[in-house]
Amino acid sequence: MSMYRVALLFSSACLGVMAAPSAGPAVFDVTKFGAVGDGTTLNSSAINKAIDAANGAGGGRVYFPAGTWLSGSIHLKSNVTLYLEQGATILASSDPQAYDPAEPNQWDKFQDFGHSHFRNSLIWGEGLENIAILGTGRIYGKGLTRSERQPNLGNKAISLKLCRNVTLKDFSILQGGWFGILATGVDNMTIDNVKIDTNRDGMDIDSCRNVHISNCSVNSPYDDGICLKADYALGFFRDDENITITNCSVSGYDTGTFLDGSYQRKLFDKPNSPGPTGRIKFGTESSGGFKNITISNSTFDDCRGLALETVDGGHLEDVTISNVTMRDIANSPIFLRLGARLRSPEGTPVGYLRRVNISNFIVYNADPRYGSIISGIPGHDIDDLKLNNIRIYYKGGGTKEDAALQPAEDEKGYPEPRMFGQIPAYGFFIRHVKGLEMNGIEVSYMKDDFRPAFLLQDVSEAEFDRVKGEHAAGVPTLILKNVQGFRVRNSPFTPDTQLQTVTAQQF
């Protein structure tokens, strides 16, 4: 070896540079196994042969070149990556015979059909490790159903059950069926730079641990965008825990108009429409809990607001949500609900909702029917809630008659802001809460509203600091009903005040 070569190797070693690059993964091109990307040839068998070959070789990359690859059920295997090249589309067949049937589930009474079955999907895997779907291609669920009324069709674009070490990155999903992505009991999962424009749920992260969702855009006018759940489909309680959601956008534009760039808003342009969904939500399925979760640096547009719900016995605790902007919100910008639906095995007690921090929110053009709602139920308070630096502009328009309403408790009802009907406070309606801090909160309206900005009922240990609420002439900013231990400071509607027990008072 020449002295020059020795010197070069020594220099490379000193700089920490590999002398020779490692070999890439083995590639298994689906066309080599008989797949035809003409949009009409059914390729399920050829694709699954390529996956089997990659798995049999100890792992590798199943490659989809540009083309339209019509398929039914695709069976993922451990140590295998599906790679969708730019211009490649996996197209879901409309033939029910192309999909694996929904497998039996003895616990299906505790959650909806879509959550109870996994194999009736376009792409599915169960009990796997080290799997990925990568590339800038597309999954088009044209032939998938969004309804349980057609149980023989595939109803999920991607379904993963009890898997670990999963990466989903860079591809898009158009019309994902009931779920664009359903992950149940999955650990160590990264979802990054995925775009979903769909006709029901975008992604449901159910009973999973160590999940990181980043840089994703989810448009889902008819259902939730990014949804955390913890149901009983696995036959045991399992929490959603150690989850981060950051730098994401959720929206409710007309289906398909997000990916095509036209951003249409015609579907819900009707009086008294419930509005598009499209939000980030915890629940509704909540037999298990939600623990150690952060959401940050995300946007909501033309959809519903943030919803944190536990109604089936699970504990929702240790959650931080920060740096969120919202525009054109179709119901409550912030909705926290502890309930007693208890769609869980008999004897399951009511859960907890506690230790939640929400900060740095800007909301513009929120629905006039609903303020932000924070509500436990009698005997079960939401506990230790901190709201900081929140600015909400509501549409307004509430009447004096609305201000006199008393929303029903509806302890067992399906959790949604509309369950309470019109709300008697335009800003925040807070009931059955213990340990509340509101700091740097400001609410206002764009049309005169004759409801108070804030209403607290059956609340204890509440502290307001730098709280502002626009109000019409003769209308109070704040109403207290059955409140224990209340303090307000640095707020323009009243001098600094401390009260031990309040049956009824207004400011």
For 297-327, what is each residue's pLDDT tens digit? 999 999 999 999 999 999 999 999 999 999 9
Residue 74: per-residue pLDDT: 98
Whether 8 has a pLDDT exceeding 50, the answer reads no
Distance CA 206, CA 345 (A): 18
DSSP states of 18-31? -SSPPP---EEEGG
Q: Report whether pLDDT(273) > 90.
A: no
**Number of other residues whose CB lies within 10 A of the CB of residue 228:** 30
Read off the pLDDT of residues 13-31 as tens digits, 9 standing for 90 and up: 333 333 334 567 899 999 9
Q: What is the pLDDT of residue 22?
A: 53
Asked whether residue 310 is assigned to any structural domain, the reply reads yes
Q: How much of the chain exceeds pLDDT 70, in percent?
A: 95
How large a percentage of the chain has pLDDT more than 90?
92
Residue 427 is part of which domain span?
305-507
Residue pointed to by tokens 């340990």: 435
Q: Compute the average pLDDT of residues 117-136.
A: 98
- Please name the helix (run of DSSP H) or strand (run of DSSP E) that holds residue 448, with its range, or none: none
Q: Which residues, at least 6 apart from 153, have a Cβ–Cβ distance to it below 8 Å?
A: 94, 96, 99, 120, 143, 144, 145
For residue 436, being part of any structural domain is answered with: yes
- Per-residue pLDDT tens digits for 343-357: 999 999 999 999 999
Q: What tens digit of pLDDT does each residue of 363-400 get?
A: 999 998 999 999 999 999 999 999 999 999 999 999 99
Q: pLDDT value at position 272?
A: 74
Say if 335 falls within a structural domain. Answer: yes
Number of domains comprising the chain: 1
* For range 258-287, the mean pLDDT: 92
Q: What is the mean pLDDT of residues 256-279?
A: 90
- Is 410 domain-assigned? yes
- Does 315 reside within a domain? yes
Q: What is the pLDDT of residue 251?
A: 98
What is the rounded average pLDDT of the residues 146-152? Answer: 83
Asked if residues 125 and 167 have their Cβ atoms less than 8 Å apart, the reply is no
This model's pTM is above 0.75: yes
In a domain, 68, yes or no: no
* 212 domain-assigned: no
Q: How does the average pLDDT of the chain come out, rounded?
A: 94
Q: Is residue 248 a part of any domain in this protein?
A: no
Instruction: Spell out the residues 6+ positions from residue 432 whose beta carbon is closer than 8 angstroms to its own.
Output: 338, 375, 376, 377, 378, 380, 381, 382, 457, 458, 459
Least confident among 63-72, 232-241, 260-269, 392-401: 260-269
